Chain A
Amino acid sequence: MADRKPSHSMAAQLVRRVTLNNDQSLVNKYASASRGEIVKDLLAAPPDTSIAPGESFKTYASGTVSWWVDKMLKPSNPLQERMTWFFHTFLTCNTFKISELMVADQLNILRQGCFGNYRDLLKKFCSSGALIVFLNANQNSKDAPNENLARELMELFTTGTGHYTQDDVKAATIALSGWFAHAWDGYPDGDHQKGEAPGTSKWNIPDTREVTFMGETKKWDLFSVIDKLCSMEATATRIASLLWFHLVGTEIPKPKADELGKWWSGQDLEMKPLIEKIVSDSAFDENYYARTRTGLEYYCAVQGAVNNSHPYDEKDLRLLSQTPYNPPNVAGWPQSQWFNPGSMLWRANFLRRISFPQASLDEVLDSCGLYSISDATLALLKSLDSKGGDTNKLRWLVTLSSPEFNAI
C-alpha cells in the first residue's frame, strides 16, 4: 500500500466513509486535523432542514428521489446525508406500493431524525403513512390480524430474530391494530392538507384487548411496543452493529458488539454519541477499503470525482441497480454482495456514459480520493500510457474500476 499523500490519507479514508459525495475539498480542509476533530466538526454542522417535495396520487416518486440524490451530491451537511442513506438501507419502503408524497414524508423523517434518538426516529417512521401502507398495518384490524408490521418491527427495525416468540408477534399485532392511511397520501382521512397525523381511523377497527408482550400483560399500543423493544439491549446491539458495518466496513466481533450495545443503551440510543464512538474506534482507522461501495455509493463517489459534471438521469441509478426507494425486498438493501460480475459490468456501463475531464494521473487519483493505493494498482495505472486508445479516458475508466475505488 502506497501512501501517495500521507498528509491526506487519514482524512480521505474518513471522508469517503462518513460522507457520500467524495468531496476532495473536504479532504483538503481536514488534511491536518485529527480524527476526533474531524468528527466533532462534522457533527457540529447545522442540519439541513429543507423539506423533500412529493405529490399525492403520484407513483415512482421520481421527483423526491432526484431531490434527494441532489442533496447527496451537494450536501450542506455531508454526514447527515450519509446517515439518512444508512437508515434508508433498512428503514425503507418501495414506491411500488406508495405515493410520492408518502415517500417524501418518510424521507423527511429520516433526514430530520438521523442525528437524534433512534427510538424517536422509529416511532415517527413506524407511524408514517408510508410504512402503514407498505407493511399492511392498514389491513391489521380486530377481525383480520395482519402480522406484517409487528414482525418486521422486531425482525428488521429492532432486536432481530432470536429475541421474540411467535406469541410476541401475535401480541404485538393486536397492539398495533387499527392504524390506517390512505394509499394516495398516507393520511387517515385521505386529506393531508387537514394536517392531521396518520393514526387510527374509522376505516380500521382496532383490537383493544390486553395482551402479554415480552412477558408483560397490559394494554399495549404501537408506541409502548417500540419503547419496550428499544429498552432491550438486543436492539442497541443490532442497530449499532449495522452502523458499524456501514461505517467501518467490517463485521463487528460479537463481544465488541455486545459491549457497544450495552454502552449505547446507556446513551439512551442517541445517534450522535454512537457515530462518534464508532468513528473514534481504532478499528475504523485500521479497516479502510473493507466494504464494497453499493450502487448508489458508487454513483455518488464517481459524481464527486468528476465534480458532479455528469447530468442527473435516473437511468444511471437503475443501471447501478440501486434507485432509492426501490429496494429488492422488505428488508431493504444488501450492504454487502456488491462485488460481482454483474455489478462490475453495470459500473463499466455507467462509466461509459460519462464525459471525463482532461487530467493527469495524479489529478485523477486526487479527484477520486485515492491517496492510499496498492502498488499493483498504481503500477497498472502508470502503464496505461502505452496501451493505445484515448489515454485520458482509459485512465479514468481503470481508476474508477479499481478495487480501491470500488471499496469504501
Chain B
Amino acid sequence: MSNNINNPYAKKTVTRRNFLLSLAGTGAVGLGGGALLTLLNKSDGITVDQKAKVDVANPLKNSTSPLIMGSDNVTATKEPVVETAQDFSGLTIDPKYKDRILVVIELFGGNDGLSMVPPYGTGKYYDLRGGLAVPQNEVLPINDQFGLHRELVNLHERKDQLAIVQGIGHTDGNLSHFQMQDQVNLGNSGSENYRTGFLARLGNAIGSQDPDAGLLAASTYGYSLGMRNITAPFLSTSDLAQLDVISDKDATYAAYREAVSSFKGDPLSDATGDIFSKIYNPKNVFPSAAESAASELASYDSGDNATGRDLGAQLAIAAHLIRADIGVKIIQTKISGFDNHSGMGFAYPELMKGVDGALGAFLNDIETMGKKDDVLVCIISEFGRRCQVSGDGLDHGNGSMTMAIGPVKPGIYGDDISLNDLDEKGNIKPTVTFGQYQASWAQDWLGVPADLLLDESPETLKFV
C-alpha cells in the first residue's frame, strides 16, 4: 500500500462553489478513499487545507476545520485516526474482466466449515464430532477426503463448479464475532487497519475506471461493513421494492428524482457528493419489483425455511440487479444463524437446506440468463468452530472450510488441514488467510491487483 499513498491533506485548490456545496449534507463518510482528493483536485477558486479555518459565509456555515467533519477518531472507537487515501491512477483493468460479477454470501455467527464440507475420509473427524458429525453414508462426496453436507444437493449437482478452500482462518484471531467480522469485512488481517471495507476498496478500484458508471456495488441487507466508506456508486437495500423509487414512472417521483439530483451533500468528495444523482443516474433503470416478482421470485421461495427465505430474498435482489445489466460488479449478501453453541444437530441441516435452496434457485436463474460464466459466488464466515463437541453444539473456533461457486477450476485449495494437530484451544490451525481468499476475488476474478487493496499482498489461491 505504501507505494500508493497520496497525502489527502496536501494543499490543493478547490472551486469555491463545489467546496461550499459540498459542505451542505455534511457529516457522512469518513476521510477514506480518493474522495477528498477528487474534491481538492478541482482547479480555480479558493485554496484550503485541512487546518484552514474557512469562514463560510454561505450555505451551511461551518467554521472549524470543515474538511475534517465526520472524521471518526472521536466517534467510531474501533477505528484508527486516519486512513491513507487510495490512488488507483496507475490501474488499468483488462477488458476481459468487464462482465464479471462477484456475489459474496456472508454466513454470520461462525459457520462450521467441518459440517458444510465434512472431511469424511478422516477418522479423527468422527472421533471429534461424535453425533454431530455428518455420517459417512450421507456425505455427498467431492473426493475421497471431502464431501458436502447432505442437504447441499443443488451445490453437489454443480460440483464441477466448486472451489473448496480448506484451512481458512485468522493468524491472530480472538474468537470474538464482532472483532473477527470487522477483521474479515475490512480486510484488517495485516498491519494496516482499514476504515474502508474490503469490498468498498475493490469497488472503488473498479469505479476508478469509469467515473460515469451507473450502480457498481450493492449490499442486500442494511449497514454493510464490507462496503463501508465506498465512494463508487453503491446501493444497499434489503427489499427489491425499494428500487422502485428509482424507476417509478409516477410524475411526482420523476420530478422528485430530477430535483434531488441537483443536491450535493457530501463534505468530502464530488464522487460521493452528488450521491443523489448516482442513485438516480438514468443508467440505473430497473424493471419494477412487480414486473420481476411474479415469475422469477417465486423460485426463490424456500417455504418454511427461514434461512432460505432470508438468503432467497437477498439473492433475488442480486439476480434483479444482474438482470438489469447496468454494470453491477459486486453484491454482498449476509445471513445469520450460524452461531451454533447448542442444538446444532437440528439447526445445522436446516441452515444448509436454506442455503442450498436459495443458492440453487439463484444459480438456476443465472444460468437461464446466460450469465453462468460471469458470476462467481463466494461464501465467507468470520471464523470456524471448535473441533471438539461441547454439549450439543460447538464453541467458536478458527480454521475452517469455505467455498466459491461458479466458473472455477474445481478442486480443493489451500494446504492440508490436520485434525490431529490442533491449536492450544482445540481449533484447526489455519493454512489459508482471509486475505488470500479475498485477494483471489479481486485479482484472479475481477482483475484488480491485490496489492492495491491489501497491505500484505497475499498470494491468491488461483481457483479461477
Contacts and interface: CB of A to CB of B under 8 A. Distances in A.
Contacts of A390: 251-252
Contacts of B272: 339-341
Contacts of A394: 252, 255-256, 259
Nearest to B274: A341
Interface string A1-30: 100000000000000000000000000000
A251 B68 contact: yes
Contact of A292 (B28, B228, B238, B252): B28
B76 A336 contact: yes
A: contact size bracket: 35 or more
Interface string A308-334: 000000000011010000001111001
A398 B260 contact: yes
B151 interface: no
Contacts of B30: 336-337
B27 interface: yes
Nearest to B61: A1
Interface in B190-228: 219, 222-225, 227-228
A155 interface: yes
A335 B70 CA distance: 8
Contacts of B63: 283, 286-287
Given A349-B242, A389-B250, A398-B260, A289 B62 contact: yes
A384 B259 contact: yes
B29 A336 contact: yes
B234 A342 contact: yes
A406 B70 contact: no
B457 to A, nearest CB: 26
B275 A344 contact: yes
A190 interface: no
A292 B25 CA distance: 7
A90 B252 CA distance: 40
B258 A387 contact: yes
A253 B228 CA distance: 25
Interface residues of B, number: 77
Interface string B310-340: 0000000000000000000000000010000
Interface in B398-442: none
A96 B336 contact: yes
A306 interface: no
Nearest to A240: B74
Contacts of A329: 78, 178, 181-182, 225
A112 interface: no
A280 interface: no
Interface string A65-108: 00000000000000000000000001000001000000000000
A242 B74 contact: yes
Interface centre among A253, A348, A380, A403 (most CB of B within 10 A): A403
A337 B229 CA distance: 7
Given A290-B62, A329-B225, A344 B279 contact: yes
A288 B29 CA distance: 17
A266 B26 CA distance: 33
Contacts of A376: 21, 24, 59, 262
A352 B66 CA distance: 33
B64 A339 contact: no
A348 B263 CA distance: 14
B69 A345 contact: no
Nearest to A135: B176
B65 interface: yes
Contacts of B223: 321, 328, 334
Nearest to B228: A337
B251 A388 contact: yes
A49 B250 CA distance: 48
B60 A245 contact: no
Nearest to A329: B178
B73 interface: yes
A393 interface: yes
B385 interface: no
Contact of B176 (A244, A249, A330, A377): A330
Contacts of B276: 344, 401
B188 to A, nearest CB: 13
A291 B256 contact: no
Contact of A338 (B28, B77, B225, B239): B28
B253 interface: yes
A402 interface: yes
B278 A341 contact: yes
B263 A401 contact: yes
Given A337-B29, A345-B242, A403 B71 contact: no
Interface string B1-38: 00000000000000000000100111111100000000
Given A253-B64, A342-B219, A388 B76 contact: no
Given A341-B275, A393-B252, A404-B24, A244 B74 contact: yes
A402 B26 contact: no
Interface string B262-276: 111110000010011
B275 A331 contact: no
B230 interface: yes
B75 A335 contact: yes
B72 interface: yes
Contacts of A336: 27-30, 70-72, 75-76
B58 A331 contact: no
A265 interface: no
B108 to A, nearest CB: 10
A251 B71 contact: yes
B344 interface: no
Contact of B62 (A287, A292, A388): A287
Contacts of A291: 26-27, 69-70
B77 A155 contact: yes
A290 B25 CA distance: 8
A403 B246 CA distance: 19
B60 A292 contact: no
Contacts of A403: 24-26, 60, 263-265
B347 interface: no
B235 interface: yes
A311 B236 CA distance: 25
A289 B29 contact: no
Contact of A245 (B75, B234, B250, B264): B75
A374 B59 contact: yes
Interface centre among A290, A341, A345, A394 (most CB of B within 10 A): A341
Given A288-B60, A341-B278, A394-B255, A160 B235 contact: no
Contacts of B64: 250, 253, 283, 286-287
Given A389-B251, A394-B255, A249 B26 contact: yes
Contacts of A402: 263
Contacts of A377: 24, 263
Given A245-B74, A337-B229, 19 more contacts: A1-B58, A238-B74, A250-B68, A251-B71, A287-B63, A289-B26, A318-B222, A319-B242, A329-B182, A340-B234, A342-B219, A349-B239, A376-B59, A380-B259, A398-B256, A401-B260, A403-B263, A403-B264, A403-B265
Interface of B: 21, 24-30, 57-66, 68-78, 174, 176, 178-179, 181-182, 219, 222-225, 227-230, 233-239, 241-243, 245-246, 250-256, 258-260, 262-266, 272, 275-276, 278-279, 336
Task: Please list the 4 inter-chain residue pairs (A to B) with the smallest Cβ-Cβ separation, ordered nearest first.
Answer: A339-B28, A389-B252, A342-B236, A292-B27
8 contacts: A160-B77, A250-B68, A291-B27, A328-B225, A336-B72, A341-B234, A345-B246, A352-B245
Interface of A: 1, 90, 96, 147-148, 155-156, 160, 238, 241-242, 244-245, 249-253, 257, 283, 286-292, 318-319, 321, 328-331, 334-346, 348-349, 352, 372, 374-377, 380, 383-384, 387-390, 393-394, 397-398, 401-404, 406-408
